[in-house]
Structure 1
Amino acid sequence: MSGSHLDSVTAGPGINDNGSGSAAILETALAVSRAAFQPAKHLRFAWWGAEELGMVGSKYYVNQLATADRAKIAGYLNFDMIGSPNPGYFVYDDDPTIEQTFKDYYASKGISTA
């Protein structure tokens, strides 16, 4: 599953926080559709509201899922502020396996992560 939030804050450029993340996962979903890709597992794309107020939309979504449906989500990738001209690469997760996979990939490309 991948997701991104749709709201922004008045103090920042909404095009980056978080128009960039929202546009990226939309384009990914469209590319998968255009390619008629048939994944082995179900792909789920989500756009959240009220992230800036405390991740209200995503928390509501997860809390409304039945336990069996929640168990079907093997991993979640969140895309937030990915269009900055001065990027930082932040990799963090509750599951150290997927976190280490991304850290190893970035390290192989010479990119440091926070």
Structure 2
Amino acid sequence: MRRTEDLADVPLLAIEGEVPDYWLDHHVPSRTPAGRPIGRGPGVTNMQEALMLVAAGRGALLAPAHTAAYFARPGVAYVPFTDAEPTGYGLVWRLGHDTGAVAAFARTAREVAGAMRP
């Protein structure tokens, strides 16, 4: 697969659990950009489960590029899309738990991330 339109050719693993619909729509779309339906594979609750199902040929999973470095596994190929937006990340913490330590960590993470930008 090279283009997001190719997602219509393979079922995507379903994400199970309590996640908002907007999150599912983004990470497990039901249609390609041109409107073709994308099939659903079995449901998963964690990355190890997903990788076992991908290796068994039961479906595919959308994942950011760095996943290949942290979750290398025989039988799993990581294929980049040529037309997909990069994955963005953000630091989050539980409401009401913004302690001095959390603020210091967030400040340091922001500085490190800024220094790593191309």
Larger RCO: 1 or 2 (CA < 8 Å, sep 6+): 1
TM-score in same-fold range (> 0.5): no
The two structures have a TM-score, normalised by structure 1, of: 0.32
Relative to its length, the structure with more helix (as a share) is: 1
The two structures have a TM-score, normalised by structure 2, of: 0.31
